[in-house]
Amino acid sequence: MKGLVGFGKKQDCVLVIRDSDVVLEALREALDGAPERERAGLERALAVVGGVAGADEGPLRAAWVRERLAGVGFAGDVGSVAAIKALRQAEPDLSLLAAVQLQRDAVAHPA
């Protein structure tokens, strides 16, 4: 997932960018012309990417939050005020509103 979008100093939106459809198509094309010895690996890769491609954005945002929290060494309760503070430390351009919304995703979608 990519970082933040917006025009002000503080950002209120986190944009989820997924290229899984491009990857799926590339894997399908590779599988079409693959020799037999490569087919099993490509089929497995296609299954893995296919499973992630349809994922809901909530869990993706939750994973992003956990990655950012881990990056600043936060190991406490994701639902705490300290987690919001750590998230904003990890992403200084993140507004309080956006941090709270992201925290809700992380709480709603535990790892």
pLDDT tens for residues 64-106?
Answer: 999 999 999 999 999 999 999 999 999 998 989 999 999 999 9
Following DSSP, what letter does each residue of 28-55 receive, concatenated?
Answer: HHHHHT--HHHHHHHHHHHHHHHHHHT-
Q: Are 11 and 2 in contact (CB under 8 A)?
A: no
Q: With bands split at pLDDT 50, 70 and 90, how would you rate the model's confidence at 13?
A: low
Please state the rounded mean pLDDT for residues 39-51: 90
- Residue 18 pLDDT > 70, yes or no? no
* Per-residue model confidence (pLDDT) at position 4: 47
Q: With bands split at pLDDT 50, 70 and 90, how would you rate the model's confidence at 23?
A: confident
Percent of the chain exceeding pLDDT 70 equals 84
